[in-house]
Structure 1
Amino acid sequence: MSKLPRAPRAPGQLTDWQIAKRLLTDHMKGHFWRFVIAFACLFATAAASSAIPFVSQHILDGIFTDRRTDLLVPISLLVIAVFFVRGGATYGFTVVMNSIGRRIVGDLQMRMFRAKIWDDLASFHATASGHLVSQFTFNVQAVLGAVSTSAAAIGRDAMTLVGLVAAMFYQDWRLALIASVTFPLSVYPLIKVGRDLRKVTRKSQFGMGEMTSYLTQVFQGIRHVKAYNAEQRTITATEKIVWSVSRMMQRMTKIKSYNAPFMEVLSGVAIGAVIYYGGGQVIAGNRTTGSFFAFVLALMLTYDPLKRIVNTWGSIQQGITAAEGIFAMIDKRPGIVDRPGAAVIEKATGAIALEDVHFSYGPSIPALRGVSIEIPAGRTVALVGPSGAGKSTLLNLIPRFYDPTSGAVRVEGHDIRDVTQHSLREQIGLVSQETTLFDASVRDNIAYARPGASQEEIEAAARGAAAHDFIASLPQGYDTQIGEHGVRLSGGQRQRLSIARAMLKNAPILLLDEATSALDTESERLVQDALTRLMVGRTTLMIAHRLSTVRSADLIYVMDQGQITEIGSHAELLQRGGLYARLWLMQTAEDEPSEAEAPLPVAVAG
C-alpha cells in the first residue's frame, strides 16, 4: 500500500454557480432575520473601517499641523467610537454567520443521512464506510468553513473594500485611478487557484475517506492485529497512507499560498505609484500632509481586505468541491423503490416462492441461475451447499435487499415488487451469523425490533431466547451498556440477544443465515434451543453450513454454482448419493461426534 488509489472524478453535473445557488435556496431559507442582523453588522464594520482614513486626516492636520487643542477630546472619543463599533460589529457578524453555517451543516447532514439510509443495500456494500463518514464529517466541515467563515469573511472584506475605495475617490479621484490600476490584476490568482485547488481538493477528500476506512478496519480488527504480531506492519502501512494524505494537504497549502507573493507585489506597485505622484503634490504645496497620509492609509487598508479575499477564495473552492460530493449523495435515488400504488401486506401466513430467479452482482458475476423454490406456510426449508453457491444471495432477495435480474420472488402470492418494502419487512425476522448490536443498553438492543415494547414483553422475549438469566447477572441488568458491536458479551450471548430481538418482532417469516455456525458447542445448544422456540408457528428459511442442524427440516434444497441441484429430505438426499451426501460424509469424517449432535428440531405449525 504505497499510495492511495486515484480519486474518482466528481459527477461534474453541477457548476459552481449551481452549487452556490442550491446552498442559498435550499439551505438558507428561514434565516432571513439572522441575515438582516449579519448585514447590519457588515455595514457597520465597513463604515467604521472607511472612517479610519478621515479620522487620521484630522489627527495629522488638526492636531499635529494646526496644533488645535480643542480637537483632542472629540477626536480621541471618535477614535474610540470607531474601533468600538468596528470590533462589536465584527463580533456580531462572525457569531451570527457561524450560527447560520452551523444550521446549514446540520441540515446538510440530515439530508445526506435521510438520502443514504433509504439507499439500496448494494450501495452500502459498494462504498467503504470510511468514505461515508468522511462525507458526513470532513466534507461537511469544509462547507461550514466556506459558508460561515470564508463566505462571511469575503462579504465583510468586500463591503469594507467598497467603502475604502469610495473614500479614496472622494479624496482624490486621480490618485484613486492610479491606485486602482492593479485591482483587475488580482482576478488572475483567483482563477488560477480556483482551477488547481478543485483538483487537489477532490484527491484530498478521497484520501481522507481512504484513511478513515483503513483506520476503522484496524481498530475494529485490533484483536487480530495483535494475535498475528502485526503491529509494526500495520504502523508501516498506516504511515504510508498518512504521509500520502499529508502530501496532498501540503500541495493544497502551496496552491492557496500562490496568492500571497502576487498580491504583495501588486500592493507595493500601487503604493509606490501613489507615493511618487502624491508625494510630489505635497512637496509642491498642492496637498496637505494629512490628506495625503489619509489617502495612503486608505489605500493600505484597501489592500488588506483585497488580499484576504484572494486568500480566502481557496477555502470557498474547497467548500464548493465538498458540496459537489454532498449534493451527489443527496440527489442519488435508490434503485429499489416502491411502485406507485404498491399493496400493503397486513399479516402474512408466510408462504414464499421463488420462480426462475436469476441474479447477478455485475455483468460478469452471476450469483443465481434459474432458481425456483417453494416454502409452504409454517414449514422449515433449509439451503445447503458449498461456499459461494448463492445461498445468502437467495436469502437477501426475500426481504428485497436486492431485486432479481429476472424471475419473481413471491410472498403470499404477491410479487414482492408489487408490495411496499415496509409491509414486506414487517413480516420478516432475521437472525444471521454476524449479529448486529449497538453501543446501547441490553433493553434498547432487544427493543430495536419494536421500540414501543414494554419491559414485560422485552423480558418475555429474552426468556424465550434463553437470555434472561445472563442478562440478570450483568452489572445493571437490562440497563447494562454492551459496547460497540456488543464487545462486552460472548458470542453466544450476542446471538441470543439477536434471537430475543426477532422473538419480540414476532414476524411470521423467519430467515436464519448460519445463525449457529460461529458458536462453540455449549453456546450452540443454547442458541438452537432458543431458535426452536422462535420457529414455532413460523415459516422458516435457514442457511446452514453444519448439516447436522438441518436434518429434520421439512425440505432441503442443495445449491451449487447458483443453481438448485438437489431437493429432498435428509434421508432422501443421503440415499441419492449426490452433493449433499458427499458434504455429509466429509463433515462426519472431520467430526465423528456429528451423528450424535442433536439436530435443530423443526417446529410444527399451530
Structure 2
Amino acid sequence: MSLQGGFGGWGAMRSFTRDRSATRQHLAPGTTKRIVSFARPYTSFVVTLTALLAVDAALGATTPLLFREIINHGVLGRDAVRVVTLALVVGGIAVVTAGLGLVERYCGSRIGEGLIFDMRSQVFAHLQRMPLAFFTRTQTGALVSRLNNDVLGAQQAFTSTLSNVVSNLLTAVFTLAAMVVLSWRITLVALVMLPLFLLPARWVGRRLQAITRESYDLNAQMNAMLTERLGVSGALLVKLFGRHEREDQAFQGRAARVRDIGVTQAMYSRVFFLLLVASLSVALVYGWGGLQAVAGTLSVGSLVALTAYLTRLYGPLTALSNVHVDVMTALVSFERVFEVLDLEPLVREHPDARDLPDDAPASVEFDRVTFSYPRAEEVSLASLETVAVLDQTTPAQVLHEVSARAEAGRLVALVGPSGAGKTTMTNLVTRMYDVTGGAIRIGGIDVRDLSLTSLRDAIGVVTQDPHMFHDTIRANLRYARPDATDEEIVQALRAAQIWSLVERLGDGLDTVVGERGYRLSGGEKQRLAIARLLLKAPRVVILDEATAHLDSESEVAVQKALATALRGRTSLVIAHRLSTVRDADLIVVLDGGRVAETGAHEELLARAGLYAELYRTQFRPQQEAEGSPADSRRGPGS
C-alpha cells in the first residue's frame, strides 16, 4: 500500500492558514534556560566581549570632555600646545576604539557563528531521526527556513541584541554621569523630554515583535514554494501543464506579502521619533545653555560637551526602554527552532537495542501485524505544513492481523490490488513506521529490539523510483558503502548490467547524474540502484515495483540485474506484473489490508481465488491483443 494511499484513511483535507507559533504572545517556559545552555561553551567570549564594550563606552564618554578642554583652555586660552596635544589624544582614542571594534567583532562572530553551527547541527541531526511520515507531511522549504532564517535570527540574540544591550547600558551610565558633573540642571531638563519618545517607542516595539513572527512565517512560505517549483520534478510538472504564468502570479503574490511586511517593519521604525525628540532636546540645551554661557555661568566648552553627550544619550536610553521587546523579538527564532527539536521522533531506538547477530538466519516474519498510520499531531507541526493538515480524526486501520513468513534465502512476493497494504508491510520491516499491534521479526528478533543501524544495514531496498543525489555515479554508489574501491564499484555495475553504459560516458564514474538522477533513463537509474544495493550486500532485499514503469528492453536488463541481486538473499518483492513473480517461493495475496491467500503460483491459480482473478485480468488483454493479428489474417469464409 502506498503512503499516499495510507493517508486516505485519515479523513478529508481541511485548510489551515494559521501558524500556532504566530498566535503565541510569549515564549514557551524554559526557553531562556535552554538558550543559556547553548551559549555556555562561549562564556569566555561573552565575558571578553562585555569587558571590551565597557572600555569602549568609557572611552566614548571621555571624548566630549576632551572637546571641553580643547575649547575652554586651548582655543579660548590661546594655548596651541594644549590644542595639539588634546587633539592627538582624541585621535589616539579613535584608533584604540577602532581596534576595540575589531576585537569586539571577532568575539561577536565567534559567538554568533558558533551558535549557528551548533543549532544547525542539532536541528539537522534531529531531522534525520524523524520518521518518514514527518517528511511526507512537512514542506521542505519550511524546514530549510528553520535551518537558515530562524537559526540566523536566533544568532542575533547573542550578537546584535546582547552587544547592543550591554553597549547601550554602559554608554547611558557613563554619559549621564558626565552630564550630571557638567550641569545637573540642563541634564534634568534634557531628560524631561525623553517620555515624549519612550511612550510611542514601547508601543512600536510590541508591534514589531508580532510583525517579526509574521515575517518569518511569510518567508518560510515563499521558501517552500521556491523549493517545490525549482526542483526537477516541480519544474517538469509546471512545464507539462503549461502553468508558468499561473506560477509567476502565485510567486509574485507570496513575494509581495514578504515585501509588504518588510515595508511595514520599516515604517514602524523608531528613527522618526528619535530624530524629532533628539533635535528638540538639542535645541533646548543650546538655547538654555547658550543663555548661561552668555551670562558666564556655563563655559562654552561645557555647552559643546553637553550637546555632544545629548546625541549619545537618547539612542541608548530609548533602546533600553524597549529592551524586553527587542530581546523577545530576537528570541522568537529560538522558540521556532526549539519547536522542531521538541518534536519527538515517532520511531525511536530502545536504550537496550542490540545488533542483529551475523549468524542469525535472515528470515522475515509478520506475526498478527496490525497497523494504522499516525495522527497529524504525532508526526508533524502545523507551522511546517502551512497549506493544509488532515483532520484530527482517528486514522483507519490499514493492516489487519497480517501473518506471513519469508524463510531465509527465499523469495516472497506481495501482490494484490492498489491500496491493499503491500508497501506498508515493507515500510514496517525497515521501521519507517512501527506496528500498531503484533510484531515483525528478522532472524527471530523483533525489529523494535534491534538497533536502527543494524536493522537497516541488514536490509536493502530498491523502490519504483530510486533516488539519486545530484552528484557523480561514484558518489551515489559509495553512499551504500563509503569504503568501496573503484574496482568493487565496477564489479557491482557489471553485475547490475550497466557498466558498458557507464564506460561509454565521457566522465565515466565521475559523470554527474543530475538532481534525482534525471539525466538517466528509468532503466538506467534502476540498474544503478541495483548496483548500489549490491555494494551494500544486504541480507534482506525489498523490491517495491522495481520494474513497474520500464519498457521491455529495460525490464529485461533490470531483471537480469535483479537475478544477481536476489541470489541467496531473503527477498520481499512487490509486483503488479504477476508474470515477474511466477517463480517466487511463496506468494502472499493481500486485499484490504488482510491476507487473502498464500501459496505458489500454480497452486493459487488452481484455487481460482483473488490471485487467479488478478492473473486473468492482466493476461486477458494481452492474449486478446496477440490473437487479433491472427484473426485479421484469416480470409473470408475461413
Query: Could you say whether these structures have the same fold, taking a TM-score greater than 0.5 normalized by the shorter chain as the test?
Result: yes
Q: What is the alpha-carbon distance in structure 2 between the residues aligned to residue 50 and residue 339 of structure 1?
A: 60
Aligned to 2:143: 132
Q: 1:318 to 1:486 in 2, by over 3 A?
A: farther
Matched, 1:147 2:158: yes
Could you tell me which of 382, 395, 398 is aligned with 1:364?
A: 395
Q: What is the alpha-carbon distance in structure 2 between the residues aligned to residue 369 and residue 62 of structure 1?
A: 97
Q: CA deviation at 1:274?
A: 3.9
Matched, 1:156 2:187: no
Q: CA deviation at 1:575?
A: 3.3
Could you tell me which of 593, 596, 600 is aligned with 1:569?
A: 600
Could you tell me which of 409, 424, 448 is aligned with 1:417?
A: 448
Could you tell me which of 508, 529, 539 is aligned with 1:477?
A: 508
Q: What is the alpha-carbon distance in structure 1 between the residues aligned to residue 602 and residue 204 of structure 2?
A: 74
User: Matched residue of 1:440: which SS?
Assistant: coil
Q: CA deviation at 1:28?
A: 4.2
Q: CA deviation at 1:328?
A: 2.2
Q: 1:473 to 1:110 in 2, by over 3 A?
A: same
Could you tell me which of 260, 265, 268 is aligned with 1:247?
A: 260
Give ranges in structure 1 of 5+ residues lacking alignment: 597-606
Specify the code of the residue in structure 2 equivalent to 1:378: G
Q: CA deviation at 1:432?
A: 0.6
What is the CA deviation profile of residues 440-475 of structure 1, one whole-angstrom value per residue up to 9, with x for unaligned ones? 221221121121222232222222111222121222
Q: CA RMSD in A?
A: 2.8
User: Is the 1:389–1:562 contact (alpha carbons within 8 Å) kept by the matching residues of 2?
Assistant: yes
Q: What is the alpha-carbon distance in structure 2 between the residues aligned to residue 240 and residue 591 of structure 1?
A: 51
What is the CA deviation profile of residues 9-53 of structure 1, one whole-angstrom value per residue up to 9, with x for unaligned ones? 369698489544433332341451x34543343233212210122
Larger mean CA deviation between 203-212 and 498-507 belongs to: 203-212
User: Is the 2:22–2:214 contact (alpha carbons within 8 Å) kept by the matching residues of 1?
Assistant: no
Could you tell me which of 374, 383, 387 is aligned with 2:414?
A: 383
Could you tell me which of 592, 611, 616 is aligned with 1:585?
A: 616
Q: CA deviation at 1:96?
A: 2.6
User: Is the 2:161–2:330 contact (alpha carbons within 8 Å) kept by the matching residues of 1?
Assistant: no
User: Matched residue of 1:452: which SS?
Assistant: coil
Mapping of 1:273-352 within 5 angstroms? Answer: 273-275=284-286, 277-307=288-318, 316-347=327-358, 348-352=360-364
Give ranges in structure 2 of 5+ residues lacking alignment: 1-14, 376-393, 628-638
Matched, 1:232 2:245: yes
Q: What is the alpha-carbon distance in structure 2 between the residues aligned to residue 301 and residue 30 of structure 1?
A: 30
What is the CA deviation profile of residues 451-501 of structure 1, one whole-angstrom value per residue up to 9, with x for unaligned ones? 122223222222211122212122222222222212222221111111111
Higher relative contact order (CA 8 A, sep 6+): 2
Aligned to 2:49: 38
Matched, 1:7 2:7: no
Q: What is the alpha-carbon distance in structure 1 between the residues aligned to residue 601 and residue 619 of structure 2?
A: 14
Aligned to 1:58: 69
Larger mean CA deviation between 533-542 and 274-283 belongs to: 274-283
Matched, 1:27 2:58: no
Matched, 1:208 2:219: yes
User: Is the 2:464–2:548 contact (alpha carbons within 8 Å) kept by the matching residues of 1?
Assistant: yes
User: Is the 1:145–1:315 contact (alpha carbons within 8 Å) kept by the matching residues of 2?
Assistant: no
Q: What is the alpha-carbon distance in structure 2 between the residues aligned to residue 115 and residue 11 of structure 1?
A: 25
Q: CA deviation at 1:270?
A: 4.2
Q: What is the alpha-carbon distance in structure 1 between the residues aligned to residue 195 and residue 440 of structure 2?
A: 66
Specify the code of the residue in structure 2 equivalent to 1:250: V
User: Is the 1:260–1:307 contact (alpha carbons within 8 Å) kept by the matching residues of 2?
Assistant: no
User: Is the 2:545–2:575 contact (alpha carbons within 8 Å) kept by the matching residues of 1?
Assistant: yes
Mapping of 1:493-532 within 5 angstroms? Answer: 493-532=524-563
User: Is the 2:75–2:83 contact (alpha carbons within 8 Å) kept by the matching residues of 1?
Assistant: no
Aligned to 1:91: 102
Q: CA deviation at 1:74?
A: 0.8
Q: 1:543 to 1:13 in 2, by over 3 A?
A: farther
Q: What is the alpha-carbon distance in structure 2 between the residues aligned to residue 559 and residue 307 of structure 1?
A: 71
Q: CA deviation at 1:526?
A: 0.7
Aligned to 2:381: none
Q: 1:475 to 1:566 in 2, by over 3 A?
A: same
Q: What is the alpha-carbon distance in structure 2 between the residues aligned to residue 298 and residue 63 of structure 1?
A: 20
User: Is the 1:139–1:205 contact (alpha carbons within 8 Å) kept by the matching residues of 2?
Assistant: yes
TM-score by length of 2: 0.85
Aligned to 1:373: 404
What is the CA deviation profile of residues 347-403 of structure 1, one whole-angstrom value per residue up to 9, with x for unaligned ones? 242211112212111323322222222212111111122222221111100011111
Q: What is the alpha-carbon distance in structure 2 between the residues aligned to residue 594 and residue 162 of structure 1?
A: 93
Q: 1:373 to 1:200 in 2, by over 3 A?
A: farther
Aligned to 2:8: none
Q: What is the alpha-carbon distance in structure 2 between the residues aligned to residue 13 and residue 397 of structure 1?
A: 41
What is the CA deviation profile of residues 534-584 of structure 1, one whole-angstrom value per residue up to 9, with x for unaligned ones? 111111111112222112212222222222223222233333333333332
Specify the code of the residue in structure 2 equivalent to 1:5: T
Q: CA deviation at 1:121?
A: 2.2
Could you tell me which of 449, 456, 466 is aligned with 2:480?
A: 449
Q: 1:491 to 1:356 in 2, by over 3 A?
A: same
Q: What is the alpha-carbon distance in structure 2 between the residues aligned to residue 16 and residue 565 of structure 1?
A: 51
Q: CA deviation at 1:430?
A: 0.7
User: Is the 2:372–2:396 contact (alpha carbons within 8 Å) kept by the matching residues of 1?
Assistant: yes
User: Is the 2:53–2:163 contact (alpha carbons within 8 Å) kept by the matching residues of 1?
Assistant: no
Q: 1:314 to 1:588 in 2, by over 3 A?
A: farther
Q: 1:372 to 1:201 in 2, by over 3 A?
A: farther
Q: What is the alpha-carbon distance in structure 1 between the residues aligned to residue 229 and residue 357 of structure 2?
A: 44
Q: What is the alpha-carbon distance in structure 1 between the residues aligned to residue 619 and residue 328 of structure 2?
A: 65
Q: 1:433 to 1:308 in 2, by over 3 A?
A: same
Q: 1:184 to 1:357 in 2, by over 3 A?
A: farther
TM-score by length of 1: 0.90
Larger mean CA deviation between 492-501 and 88-97 belongs to: 88-97
